[in-house]
Amino acid sequence: MNPAGALALKLVLTPVVIGAASLAGRRWGSALSGWLVGIPFTSAPIAFFLALDPGPSFAARASEAIMAGAISQASFCLVFAWMAGQAGWPASLAAASTGYAVATVALTFVGLRVAGAFVVVIIVLVVALFLMPGKTERPGVHSTFPRWDLPARMVVATVFVVVLTTAAPLLGPRIAGLVAPFPLYGAVLAAFAYRMEGPAASIAVLRGLLLGLFAFACFFLALSTLLERDILLAFAVAILAGAIVQSGALVLGRRFGLA
């Protein structure tokens, strides 16, 4: 895909995704919107573009790092959730982004094989879910959303995606992979949920995001192990595995009161 086509895809896909997730959150609850954006809408295209150029080997190494980046996303969710009860959304977002950055820097010094990294990621996600603040009722401050709310979410998310995906390939496979999974959609949804509905709604978004990260990890496990064999096969298996795990995570999350 040429640069113009890639940019057009980002400009179309991002507002559609963030708009759909926002509307789903209003209809079925904030946790569902977080679960929905756990799907790798930004990092999967990055892996695809990298598989085309510089090539499958580069993309496979980047995919392994992206999978490990789920640990940084878990750090983001935990820090934002615990800050949300004590500070406003700007401070919560700043602290969570710092937590993501610290975890990402730490991961640059860790050299686990793919299977070992996957096991660590799953353990971290399970622990993070249990460390999240207790589930609270949806706050009573929920009201009619202003007209600018949905367009603002789309614009903010699109700007973030374009900037990050433009810079990521310049950093090398390891750093690009660790930076790519920054939870852009989750950050936007959590910040807007906090502003419009209060901290409980933003925490629900992040709890849903953590549930979605199990599928995220499975998706990139498949890519990192299969990309060097066949690009189309790798993405087909990754999509299938991600869809199955994503559905299962939602069912289990609902059953155990996590979503």
- Distances in Å between the Cα of 241 and the Cα atoms of 117, 230, 244 are 18, 16, 5
Percentage of the residues of the chain whose pLDDT score is greater than 90? 23
The model's confidence at residue 143, banded by pLDDT at 50, 70 and 90, is: very low
Instruction: State residue 188's pLDDT score.
Output: 79
| pLDDT band for position 157 (cuts 50, 70, 90) | low
CB 234 within 8 A of CB 48: no
- In this predicted structure, the answer to whether residue 161 has a pLDDT above a threshold of 70 is no
Q: Could you report the per-residue pLDDT of 181-234, keeping only the tens digit for each?
A: 777 777 877 887 888 778 888 888 888 888 889 989 999 999 999 999 989 999
What token pair was written down for 127? 């622990």
**pLDDT at res. 122:** 94
pLDDT digit string, tens, across residues 67-108: 988 999 999 999 999 998 788 888 999 999 999 999 988 888
Asked if the peptide bond before residue 56 counts as cis, ω within 30 degrees of 0, the response is no
Neighbours of 43 (CB within 10 A): 30
Distance (Å, rounded) from C-alpha 32 to C-alpha 134? Answer: 17
pLDDT at residue 39, rounded to an integer? 72
Position 18 pLDDT exceeds 70: no
Which pLDDT does position 183 carry in this prediction?
79
CA atoms of 177 and 167, how far apart (whole Å): 11
Whether residue 137 has pLDDT greater than 50: no
Average pLDDT for 107-129: 88
Give the global pTM.
0.77
Contact present, 204 and 192 (Cβ < 8 Å): no
For residue 139, is pLDDT > 60?
no
Q: Give, to the nearest 10 degrees, the angle between helix 56-84 and helix 184-197.
A: 20
Instruction: With a cut of 50, say whether residue 26 has pLDDT above it.
Output: yes
In this structure, what token pair is assigned to residue 107?
């991961």
Check residue 222 and give its pLDDT.
Answer: 93
